[in-house]
Amino acid sequence: MALGKRRREQQGTFWVATEKLCNAPRNAFYDRLNQLLIEIGFDEQLEEAAEPYYQKTGRKGLAPGIYFRMIFIGYFEDIASQRGIAWRCADSRSLAKFLGYSPEESTPDHSTLSLTRERLPMEIHDLAFQLILKANADHGLLAGKTLGIDATDLEANASLKSIVRKDNGDDWQEYLRKLYAEETGKKDPTDEELRRFDKSRKPKKKVSNDDWQSETDPDSRIGKMKDGRFHLKYKAENAVDLETNVIVSAEIYYGNRGDTSTIEDTVNSAKVNLEQADTDLEVKEVVADKGYHSEQTLDDLQNKCNVRTYIPEPERKGTRTWTDKSPEREASYRRNRRNTNGNRGRKLQRYRSERVERTFAHLCDTGGARRTWLRGIEQVQKRYKSAVMAYNLGQVMRKLTGAGKPRYLAVLAERAFSHLRVFWAKWGPITKPASLLRHLLKPQTRFSTAIAG
C-alpha cells in the first residue's frame, strides 16, 4: 500500500449531486427530540405568538424554534457561551440536520442568536416553557402536588474591578485616592502606597451594594459564592416537582435578595405555569431548607398561597415569645413545625436535598449555566429558562429512550452491544435470530426504546 498524502488546496467541483449532500449522519437522540418537538407543535405555536414582534416585509429572521433548539444544544453538549454553541452547530452535520439546515447551508452565527434573544420578549420564553411543561404532563411526568424549592448562585459576566460608586461614579482606585488624601494630606500617591494604605486602613474595606454597582452590568450584585469567593452574581431559584424531578418554575433574582423574600414569588410562578400549561394540577405542599424559615414567610405561604409548608426551623438561642405576634402567625409557625417533624416531613426533606440539588448539578455543572455570559437580569432569565426547558425535555427523552442526554444514550448503546457480544459468544452458534432479537430488546439493556424510536 502506497503512502497517502493530504490534498493541497485545489479548485473545488462546480456542482455536487443532491443525494450526496442529504446523507447527513444520523443522531438517534436529536432525531427523536426533533420528533417530540414536532408532536407538541413547538414551532407552529411559537411562530404564531412571535409574529407581532417582526416586520411584515424584509429579510427573514431566525425562526424561534431554531433559536431555542440551539440553546437546547448548549445544555445537552455542556456549552455555556453562544459563540461555542454556534461553532458546535457549524461543525456538526447531525446538529445542522437537527436545526433543519442542509449541508450546503450555513448555520446561524452567535450574533444572530443575540439579536433573536433580544427581539423575543419574556412572554415568548414563558410560552415555550409552558409548551414543554405540557409535554411533561402528557407523558405522565408531572404531578404538581409537592414542590421542592432551593436556590443557587450564578456568576455574573462582570468583574469586581468594574464596580463604581453610585453617587459620583468613581472607580475603586479613585475612591482610594480621595481617602488617602483625606487621611494623609498627600496627593498623587503611587500604586504601591495605595496598596499599603488599602491593606492597613481601618475600618477594613467593605463593599456594599447600596453604595457600589458594576459599570458593565448594573443588575448584578456583590456577594459570596458557594466556594467562598466574592463575586458579582445573580440568584437562580428552582421549584421542582419532587415526584417526577420536573422543574415547574425557574426564576432569576438579584444576587442580594434573601431566600425568605423570593419563595412566595417562585410558588406563585409555579402555579401560573401549571395553569397556563392546561393542566388541572394544583400545588398543595412546599418543601424548602431552613434558609427559607421565617414567621412572615410561613404565614404568607399558608394563608395567601394556600399550601402546606415543610420548612425546618434553624437553631436559635433562648425561648420564643409570642406576646407581640398575631395568633394567626403563631398558628402558622406551629403548624409548620408539626409538618416538618412528622414522618412525611422528614421523608420530603430527604427528597428535596437529593432531587432539587440534582437539577442544579444538571443545569450548572454539566449544562453550562453556572457562568452567565449575558448582562442584565432579563437576559440572564431568558438564557436560564431556556436551559431549564432543555432539562425538562431531557426528562421526557429519558422516558422515551432511556437517556436524558445524547452522551448517555451513546453509553447505553455501548452497553447494549456489549450484552450482545457476550450473548453471541456463549449462545450464538445455537441461537435463532428471533431469540437474539428478544435478548437485545430486553428492558435491562436500556437501549430497546432508543431502537424503537
Q: How high is the pLDDT of residue 449?
A: 44
Distance set, CA 265 to CA 238, 253, 255, 300, 416 (Å): 11, 10, 15, 11, 45
Quick check: 312 and 290 in contact, CB under 8 A? yes
pLDDT exceeds 90 at position 132: yes
pLDDT digits (tens, 9 = 90+) for 394-434: 999 988 888 888 876 666 566 665 656 665 566 555 555 55
Could you tell me how many helices (H) and strands (E) the chain has, helices first?
Answer: 19, 8
pLDDT digits (tens, 9 = 90+) for 143-172: 989 999 999 999 998 888 889 988 888 888
The number of residues making up the chain comes to: 453
pLDDT digits (tens, 9 = 90+) for 291-346: 999 999 999 999 999 999 999 998 887 777 777 788 888 899 999 999 999 999 99
CA pair distance 156, 234, nearest whole angstrom: 6
Q: C-alpha angle with apex 392: 99 to 414, nearest 5 degrees? A: 70
Quick check: 257 and 222 in contact, CB under 8 A? no
In the chain, where are the structural domains located?
24-120, 142-157+223-315+324-376, 161-215, 406-452
Cis before 203 (ω within 30)? yes
Q: How high is the pLDDT of residue 128?
A: 94
CA pair distance 236, 225, nearest whole angstrom: 13
CA pair distance 254, 311, nearest whole angstrom: 23
Residue type, 258: G
As given in the structure block, the three cell numbers for residue 88 are 458546535
As given in the structure block, the three cell numbers for residue 335 are 403548624
Q: How high is the pLDDT of residue 93?
A: 87
pLDDT exceeds 70 at position 362: yes
> Within 10 Å of residue 183's Cβ, how many Cβ atoms?
10
Among 13-17, 57-61, 243-247, the minimum mean pLDDT is found in: 13-17
The model's confidence at residue 440, banded by pLDDT at 50, 70 and 90, is low
Distance set, CA 105 to CA 13, 20, 96, 101, 271 (Å): 17, 14, 9, 6, 42
Contacts of 36 (CB under 8 A, 6+ apart): 135, 393, 396, 397, 400
Q: For CA atoms 316, 322, 323, 328, give the dihedral sign.
A: positive
Quick check: 94 and 32 in contact, CB under 8 A? no
Q: How high is the pLDDT of residue 443?
A: 47
CA pair distance 355, 351, nearest whole angstrom: 6
DSSP three-state, residue 209: coil
CA pair distance 178, 440, nearest whole angstrom: 76
CA atoms within 13 A on the CB side of 376: 6
Buried b (16+ CB within 10 A) or exposed e, 55-93: eeeeeebbbbbbbbbbbbbbbbbebbebebbbebbeebb
Helices (H), 3-109: 18-21, 28-39, 42-50, 64-76, 82-91, 93-99
Q: Is 207 left (phi over 0), alpha (psi -120 to 50) or beta?
A: beta
pLDDT exceeds 90 at position 127: yes
pLDDT digits (tens, 9 = 90+) for 234-259: 999 999 999 999 999 999 999 999 99
pLDDT exceeds 90 at position 266: yes
From the number of C-beta atoms within 10 Å of its C-beta (0-12, 13-18, 19+), residue 161 rates as: exposed
